[in-house]
Amino acid sequence: RGCALMQLQGWMGVAPWTVAEVREATKPDPPLPGGLQADHTPFSLPHTSGYQPALTSSPPQPGRPHTGNAAHPGVTSAGSKLLPPLAFNHTIGHIILSEHKDVKFNCSINIPNMYQDIAVISWWKDGKELLGAHHAITQFYPDDEVTAIIASFSITSVQRSDNGSYICKMKINNEEIVSDPIYIEVQGLPHFTRQPESMNVTRNTAFNLTCQAVGPPEPVNIFWVQNSSRVNEQPEKSPSVLTVPGLTETAVFSCEAHNDKGLTVSKGVQINIKAIPSPPTEVRVCNSTAHSVLISWVPGFDGYSPFRNCSVQVKEVDPLSNGSVMVFNTSASPHLYQIKQLQALANYSIGVSCMNEIGWSAMSPWILASTTEGAPSIAPSNVTVFLNESSHKVDVRWIKPPIKRQDGELLGYRISHMWQSADTSKELSEEVGQNGSRAQISVQVHNATCTVRIAAITRGGVGPFSDPVKMFIPAHGWVDFAPSSTPAPGNTDPVLIILGCFCGFVLIGSILYISLIIRKRIQETKFGTLTTLIYTLSVFTVRSLGVSEELQNKLEDVVIDRNLLILGKILGEGEFGSVMEGNLKQQDGTSQKVAVKTMKLDNFSQREIEEFLSEAACMKDFNHPNVIGLLGVCIEMSSQGIPKPMVILPFMKYGDLHTYLLYSRLETGPKHIPLQTLLKFMVDIAQGMEYLSNRNFLHRDLAARNCMLRDDMTVCVADFGLSKKIYSGDYYRQGRIAKMPVKWIAIESLADRVYTSKSDVVRAEL
């Protein structure tokens, strides 16, 4: 009879029992379903883990309409009997409890034994099945006609994250049965979602502070506190914005969030008043030359406002000087400056001052700096050269140049002499002491032209050379000649010498002409062979990069001939590679300015080449104004004869967004960027990331440094070295340990190495 009553209640949808337990007090065990006796022994299927909570609302009254999904009648295996509909029994609908309490609730169902396929009950929260880290127990109470199933779920020390709607599900005969939802509401002290932040403000200038907190329970009221005193007597509903008309001294602000459970106090933040910076300290001389001095300094306190630039003031310490001060402006960082255009062997006083948006600091303590000796500024004059046949040497004579005080003490002279003949050319130099104004040079080559130059030497270096003086040295037996080409006394036939010089020049010209023709032929042959070799190597390296066949197929149609690419200066360098400026020749004969990304190391591994080219393949199919695209891939031979890939990208005139924003604030002349422009930057990034997300790409390294600026100030998302394409599902789990930019990474990605499009959203917000 009891079993029949139980079956009847199950068919009519009446709940014979419900259980909801709050672990603030001990509760008796729930009554057994239907006519089951107290000594009836159930068997259970526990689901272990560690989740558990506490406070319940009253169970529903009998007769409440049932809202769960029921299984419709079906036909038994024999086809002779309809199965009755099934539904979960009514249970408690709403549980309200405080944080850190324990709670236990359940759902139950009565299954007539005519159903052959009985499945286990599963718990779901907010549309997602609860697996693993929860504590659930399923108990079965079999009878002759009905099997009662009770699924209990417990949570220990509930948190706000446990808020939500919980339901039971089970399948019988391919029909899914869903219970009424049980709503868990965890109440506690207010939780801050936004707290006031420290600020540096201008004196007597208004500013705003924001404080926001949430329950449950709601509402949450906000009180503001300044220097331990309440600002507002009447509370404001969260969120609250405090407008401070202005301050004249530093103050500490905080906010209090109140609800029915109590209050929570935010962190205290200090509001600083911007002031004139302190003067630089520790100004010192790092290096001195004859005409420059390199100084360094330690910046003083910035007055809660970043330094904009610095001024170096220099004045000469000399009673005879006019006392004028030279001023040199420089950037605030680095704290180094090389003062140029100074006099040699002079003393100077040097001071440094820096400024922020409020004004200039006081001048640093003045230091004394001295320049070293300089090199002579005037060359020796009246240089004469003639051949002394008796000593078989060339006599050189000159007049000593005037040496100024700042040029230092004269140490000697350097004589440079060059010997040129039809088959010989040599250049020699030698130094002589400062005493006297003449020297002798041994004849090096006969029947040749000797060219002589002289320069003075001091400790500061070698001065300028004199104008060259040329003299022809005849063969043995010929008389000597003066540099003025005037024949020496006793010369009987100067026509022969002139004729010999003419023949010599003709011979030298013929030799040079023939050598140029031969050299040109050799170069044409050499470079022709080299061009063929480069083409052969280019084809060879494309086939032998050693990357996967799939990657080769992706890049096959974007490989560009190396001869079409001309590399320029380096635009930037990283740990493993660099970006260079380049020009790419087009089919119509024009050239396009491009950026070329290369691998920096010559000993790179095969895996690094694979990752480098995978990034290029990733960009190949991108076609969006806010996502950087691929122009091509080029192969170059490294110094070790190994093919090295290069990725060709569009040239971005203004570089990366991070550097652009930084320089706009820190350069000597700060550049104001309108708010509309900043908003446009954000919209461009969002559109680019939306495009990537729609194509199932995860960027995983979104940052201002990885966003580039086109000529028209359009932002393009770039640097896909860490990007991943999702082929199934909506997330990517990182398997192996790898270097990741931890500073901006999402918390869930840092904990579980799981990345979704929401992870990129977190990076964009940061």
As annotated, the binding site includes 597, 705-706, 719
d(CA 315, CA 96): 79
Residue from 302, 407, 684, 701 carrying the catalytic annotation: 701
Question: Is 701 annotated in the active site?
Answer: yes
Output the CA torsion sign for 258, 263, 264, 270.
positive
Supply the DSSP string of 236-275, one letter for each residue: EESSEEEEE---SS-EEEEEEEEETTEEEEPPPEEEEEP-
d(CA 696, CA 757): 8
As annotated, the binding site for ATP includes 597, 705
Is 282 in contact with 297 (CB distance < 8 Å)? yes
State the number of CA atoms in the 13 A half-sphere of 609 facing the CB. 21
As annotated, the binding site for Mg(2+) includes 706, 719
DSSP helix, strand, coil percent of the chain (3-state; round to 5): 20, 35, 45
In DSSP terms, which residues pair with 53 in a beta bridge? none
What's the gap between Cα 729 and its chain centre?
29
- Range list of β-strands (E), 157-292: 164-172, 175-178, 182-187, 191-194, 199-201, 207-214, 221-226, 229-230, 236-237, 240-244, 251-259, 262-265, 269-273, 281-288
According to DSSP, the β-strands at 103-112 and 164-172 are unpaired
- Range list of β-strands (E), 434-525: 438-442, 448-458, 461-462, 469-473
Number of Cβ within a 10 Å radius of residue 203? 12
Is 185 in contact with 95 (CB distance < 8 Å)? yes
313 Cβ neighbours under 8 A, 6+ residues apart: 325, 326, 327, 328, 350, 351, 352, 353, 363
Is 241 in contact with 196 (CB distance < 8 Å)? no
Active site positions, annotated: 701
